[in-house]
C-alpha cells in the first residue's frame, strides 16, 4: 500500500519505520529543509513510549536513540524553588525507565535512512474512493492509498479532516532556550538540577522551568548517536497578557529582552541562564489544547497522529511520548490488514486505531491541565502569595510525613 505521511516529526518518523518494515511504500513530506533543522529542547520518553519504540524502530536506531539520551538517574525528583533560588519543596518522582533526549537529535536519529522529502510542505489533499491526492507547496501532487497527518499543532491534514485547525490557544505562552555549559561559562547550576527538574513561580506570576541536560559518557562512540549538551534548559511562562507583547511576534533579541524583563525582580542566577543562552535555541512556545474530540473522526483513507489531533501543553511532558504511542498503535492496526487491504478493511483498521488511541491520548491531554491551570491562576498575586507562603510549606510537611510513614513501614 502507498502510505503518505505529512510531517517528519517524532510521530511521523516513528510511523515511517514501522510501515516500511511491514512492506508498505512509504513517502514522508516534511517542510523543514533537513532533519536537524528544527527547534526544541529536552523531551521526556517514559516507559510506555520506549515500549512503543521497541515495537516500531530497528534495534540499531533504538540503540542510537538510547545513547543520545541523558543517562538514567537524572530524573529523580521535582524541586520547587522560590524566586531567590532557594529550594522550597522536593517531590520524589517514581522510579521507572525513561529517556531524556533533545528533540533535535531525537528527530535526526529517527529520520536517519528514511525516505523523507525534506523541504516539501503539504498544503492540502483531496480524498477519492480509491486514493488520496496530496497537494504539495511546489504545485506537484502525491498519490497514496492512505494519508497520515503527522504535521503537528497546525496540521493542514487535520484542517482538511476536521474542517478547522486542530489546536486552540490556552492563553499561556513560554519563552525558552538553552544555556550551554562549557568550561568557564558564567552559569551556576543549582544543586536541585543534578537530581531532576526544577520549577519556580515568582514575581509577576511568571513560572520558570529549569533542567540540566548532560550526555552519557561515551555516547559519541555509539554508531548513529548524536549526543548534545551539556546545557541548561530554561523557560519563562505566563499568560500572554502578562508579557509586554505577544512573544509569538518577537525576534530572538526581543525574546531575550522580554525574558530578562520578566525575571527582573528574581535572583540574578535565573537571568544568567537567559544571558548565557545560545540565541539559535531561543523561541516562544504557545501552549495549545485540542480544538476537537480525540480520537478524530477518521475518514476511509485519512487519519491523524500526535499533535495533529491531540496537541497538549508541555506541562506534563507527554507530547512526544503520545505521538510515539500513536505511531505504534496505527502500525499495529495496519499490520492486521496486510499490505493490500480493501477500502473496507483499511477503514476498519483506522477505526480500530482510533479506539486504541482513545484509551490513552485524552488522559495524556488531561494530565497536562492542572499545571496549566496553576500557571494561569498564579498570575494573580492574590493566589500566588498564599500558595507560596502557606501552600508550599504545608505540601512539604505532608510529603515529609508520608516519607516517614513509608520508611517506618519498610523498616517494620
Ligand atoms: C519546533 C518544535 C519544538 C518543540 N519543542 C519541545 C520541547 O522543547 N519540549 C517538549 O516537551 N515538546 C516540544 N515540542 C512538542 C513536541 O515535540 C511534540 O509534542 C511531539 O513531538 C509530538 O510529535 P508530532 O510528531 O505529533 O509533532 P511534531 O514533532 O511537532 O512534528 C510535526 C512535523 O510536521 C512538520 N510539518 C508541519 N506542517 C507541515 C506541512 N504543512 N507539511 C509538511 N510538514 C509539516 C513540522 O515541521 C514537524 O516536523 C516541540 C515541537 C516543535 C514543532
152 Cβ below 6 A of ligand 1: yes
31 Cβ below 6 A of ligand 1: yes
Indicate whether 307 belongs to any domain: yes
Indicate whether 323 belongs to any domain: yes
Final residue belonging to a domain, choices 249, 268, 288: 288
Q: For residue 403, is pLDDT > 90?
A: no
50 φ, ψ to 5°?
-65, -40
CA dist., res. 152 & res. 65, Å (int): 21
In this structure, the answer to whether residues 49 and 106 fall within a common structural domain is: yes
Indicate whether 387 belongs to any domain: no
Q: For residue 411, is pLDDT > 80?
A: no
In this structure, the answer to whether residues 78 and 182 fall within a common structural domain is: yes
CA dist., res. 190 & res. 231, Å (int): 13
In this structure, the answer to whether residues 43 and 178 fall within a common structural domain is: yes
Q: For residue 395, is pLDDT > 60?
A: no
Indicate whether 382 belongs to any domain: no
In this structure, the answer to whether residues 125 and 268 fall within a common structural domain is: no
Q: What is the pLDDT of residues 14-58, one digit of tens each?
A: 999 999 999 999 999 999 999 998 888 889 899 999 999 999 999
CA of 152 to the centre of ligand 1 (A): 5
In this structure, the answer to whether residues 13 and 127 fall within a common structural domain is: yes
29 Cβ below 6 A of ligand 1: yes
**pLDDT on residue 407:** 54
In this structure, the answer to whether residues 223 and 277 fall within a common structural domain is: yes
What nine digits make up the cell of 115?
Answer: 525516505
Indicate whether 405 belongs to any domain: no
Residue nearest atom 50 in ligand 1 by C-alpha distance: 40
Indicate whether 357 belongs to any domain: yes
261 Cβ below 6 A of ligand 1: no
Final residue belonging to a domain, choices 237, 266, 288: 288
What nine digits make up the cell of 176?
Answer: 525558552
Domain of residue 338, CATH code: 3.50.50.60
CA dist., res. 66 & res. 306, Å (int): 21
Q: Between 47-56 and 319-335, two packed helices, what is the crossing angle to 10 degrees?
A: 40
135 Cβ below 6 A of ligand 1: no
**pLDDT on residue 379:** 60
Residue nearest atom 4 in ligand 1 by C-alpha distance: 40
Residue nearest atom 38 in ligand 1 by C-alpha distance: 151
In this structure, the answer to whether residues 98 and 217 fall within a common structural domain is: yes
151 Cβ below 6 A of ligand 1: yes
Choose the residue to mutate in 7, 288, 328 for probing ligand 1, maximizing ligand atoms within 8 Å of C-beta: 7
Please give the model's pTM, rounded to 2 decimal places.
0.90
323 Cβ below 6 A of ligand 1: yes
How many domains is the chain built from?
2
- Give which of 80, 159, 104 is closest to 394, Cα–Cα: 80
Choose the residue to mutate in 100, 152, 177, 283 for probing ligand 1, maximizing ligand atoms within 8 Å of C-beta: 152
In this structure, the answer to whether residues 157 and 61 fall within a common structural domain is: no
Domain, as residue range, for 245:
36-110+170-288
Choose the residue to mutate in 248, 318, 319 for probing ligand 1, maximizing ligand atoms within 8 Å of C-beta: 319
Q: For residue 104, is pLDDT > 60?
A: yes
Q: For residue 412, is pLDDT > 90?
A: no
In this structure, the answer to whether residues 202 and 278 fall within a common structural domain is: yes
Domain of residue 81, CATH code: 3.30.9.30
CA of 42 to the centre of ligand 1 (A): 13
What is the 3-class SS of the chain, one letter each residue? CEEEEECCCHHHHHHHHHHHHCCCEEEEECCCCCCCCCCCCEEEECHHHHHHHHHHCCHHHHHHHHHHCCCCCCCCEEEEECCCCCEEEEEECCCCCCEEEEHHHHHHHHHCCCCEECCCCEEEEEECCCCEEEEECCCCEEEECEEEECCHHHCHHHHHHHCCCCEEEEEEEEEEEEEECCCCCCCCCCHHHHCEEEEEECHHHCEEEEEEECCCCCHHHCCCCCCCCCEEEEEEEEEHHHCCCCHHHCCHHHHHHHHHHHCCCCCHHHHHHHHCCCHHHCEEEEEEEECCCCCCCCCCCEEECHHHCCCCCHHHCCHHHHHHHHHHHHHHHHHCCCCCCCHHHHHHHHHHHHHHHHCCHHHHHHHCHHHHHHHHHCCCHHHHHHHHHHHHHHHHHHHHHHHHHHHHHHHC
314 Cβ below 6 A of ligand 1: yes
In this structure, the answer to whether residues 87 and 183 fall within a common structural domain is: yes
Q: Which residue has the cell 497527518?
A: 149
40 Cβ below 6 A of ligand 1: yes
Final residue belonging to a domain, choices 288, 304, 319: 288
In this structure, the answer to whether residues 48 and 183 fall within a common structural domain is: yes
Indicate whether 364 belongs to any domain: yes
In this structure, the answer to whether residues 192 and 271 fall within a common structural domain is: yes
Question: Residue 70 — pLDDT band, cuts 50, 70, 90?
Answer: confident
Indicate whether 404 belongs to any domain: no
Q: What is the pLDDT of residues 213-237, one digit of tens each?
A: 988 888 888 888 888 889 999 999 9
Residue nearest atom 51 in ligand 1 by C-alpha distance: 40
Amino acid at each position: 500500500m502507498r502510505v503518505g505521511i505529512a510531517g517528519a516529526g517524532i510521530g511521523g518518523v516513528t510511523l515511517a519505520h514501522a510501515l516500511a518494515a511491514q512492506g508498505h511504500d512509504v513517502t514522508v513530506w516534511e517542510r523543514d529543509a533537513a532533519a536537524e533543522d528544527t527547534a526544541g529542547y529536552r523531551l521526556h520518553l517514559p516507559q510506555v513510549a520506549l515500549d512503543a519504540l521497541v515495537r516500531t524502530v530497528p534495534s540499531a536506531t533504538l540503540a542510537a536513540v538510547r545513547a543520545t539520551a541523558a543517562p538514567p538517574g537524572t530524573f529523580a525528583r521535582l524541586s520547587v524553588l522560590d524566586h531567590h533560588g532557594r529550594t522550597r519543596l522536593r517531590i520524589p518522582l517514581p522510579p521507572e525507565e525513561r529517556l531524556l533526549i533533545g528533540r533535535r537529535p531525537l528527530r535526526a536519529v529517527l529520520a536517519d535512512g528514511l525516505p523523507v522529502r525534506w523541504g516539501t510542505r503539504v498544503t492540502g489533499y483531496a480524498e477519492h474512493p480509491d486514493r488520496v491526492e496530496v497537494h504539495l507547496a511546489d504545485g506537484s501532487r502525491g498519490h497514496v492509498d492512505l494519508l497520515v497527518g503527522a504535521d503537528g499543532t497546525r496540521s493542514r491534514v487535520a484542517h482538511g479532516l476536521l474542517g478547522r485547525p486542530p489546536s486552540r490557544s490556552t492563553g499561556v505562552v513560554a519563552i525558552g532556550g538553552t544555556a550551554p555549559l562549557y568550561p568557564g561559562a558564567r552559569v551556576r547550576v543549582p544543586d536541585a538540577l543534578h537530581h531532576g527538574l526544577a520549577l519556580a513561580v515568582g514575581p509577576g506570576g511568571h513560572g520558570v522551568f529549569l533542567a540540566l541536560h548532560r550526555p552519557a559518557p561515551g555516547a559519541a562512540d555509539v554508531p548513529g548517536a548524536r549526543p548534545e549538551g551539556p546545557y541548561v534548559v530554561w523557560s519563562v511562562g505566563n499568560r500572554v497578557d502578562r508579557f509586554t507583547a505577544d512573544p509569538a511576534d518577537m525576534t530572538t533579541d526581543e525574546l531575550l529582552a522580554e525574558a530578562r524583563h520578566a525575571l527582573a525582580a528574581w535572583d540574578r542566577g535565573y537571568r544568567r541562564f537567559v544571558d548565557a543562552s545560545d540565541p539559535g535555541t531561543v523561541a516562544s512556545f504557545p501552549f495549545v489544547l485540542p480544538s476537537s474530540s480525540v480520537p478524530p473522526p477518521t475518514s476511509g483513507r485519512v487519519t491523524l497522529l500526535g499533535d495533529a489531533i491531540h496537541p497538549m501543553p508541555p506541562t506534563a511532558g507527554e507530547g512526544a511520548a503520545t505521538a510515539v504511542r500513536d505511531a505504534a498503535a496505527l502500525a499495529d492496526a495496519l499490520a492486521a490488514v496486510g499490505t493490500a487491504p480493501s477500502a473496507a478493511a483499511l477503514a476498519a483498521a483506522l477505526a480500530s486505531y482510533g479506539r486504541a488511541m482513545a484509551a490513552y491520548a485524552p488522559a495524556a491531554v488531561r494530565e497536562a491541565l492542572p499545571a496549566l491551570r496553576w500557571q494561569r491562576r498564579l498570575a494573580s498575586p492574590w493566589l500566588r502569595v498564599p500558595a507560596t507562603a502557606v501552600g508550599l510549606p504545608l505540601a512539604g510537611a505532608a510529603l515529609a510525613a508520608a516519607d516517614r510513614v513509608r520508611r517506618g513501614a519498610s523498616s517494620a
